[in-house]
């Protein structure tokens, strides 16, 4: 189960620093967790979705984990691999401003 930790943010261009450099690799049926690190400058994740024209590897799509700022999504166990999804994280900074960042997830097995 990959955990993607958001460790820093840049409010001038929306860039997030992820502990896997924004290139996650996982397998079919796995659960992916997004965590916001303390001091990252990210107040909350607003949405996570596949970019237009990209393969949607999640089923169901990522959603908030109740009672926390974490999000989770399950990789479709019936996905044809290899598959790559370019996706968007919509996020809010500590001042209440919204931003977007576009990482990638690869499913190899």
Taking only the tens place, the pLDDT of each residue in 43-93 is 999 999 999 999 999 999 999 999 999 999 999 999 999 999 999 999 999
3-107 — its CATH code?
Answer: 2.60.40
How many percent of the chain have pLDDT more than 90? 98
Residue-range domain boundaries for the chain: 3-107
Which pLDDT score is estimated for 106?
98
- With a cut of 90, say whether residue 37 has pLDDT above it: yes
Show contacts of 93-99: CB within 8 Å, 24+ apart.
Answer: 93/9, 93/11, 93/41, 93/42, 93/43, 94/41, 94/42, 94/43, 95/11, 96/43, 97/11, 98/46, 99/9, 99/11, 99/14
Q: What is the mean pLDDT of the chain?
A: 97
Asked whether the whole model's pTM tops 0.85, one would answer yes
Which pLDDT score is estimated for 1?
79
């Amino acid at each position: 189960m990959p955990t993607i930790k958001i460790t820093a943010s840049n409010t001038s261009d929306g860039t997030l620093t992820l502990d896997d450099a924004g290139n996650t690799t996982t397998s079919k049926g796995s659960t992916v967790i997004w965590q916001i690190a303390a001091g990252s400058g990210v107040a909350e994740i607003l949405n996570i979705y596949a970019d237009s024209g990209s393969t949607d590897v999640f089923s169901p799509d990522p959603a908030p984990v109740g009672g926390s700022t974490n999000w989770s999504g399950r990789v479709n166990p019936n996905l044809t691999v290899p598959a790559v999804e370019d996706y968007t994280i919509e996020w809010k900074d500590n001042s209440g401003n919204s931003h977007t960042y576009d990482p990638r997830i690869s499913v190899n097995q």
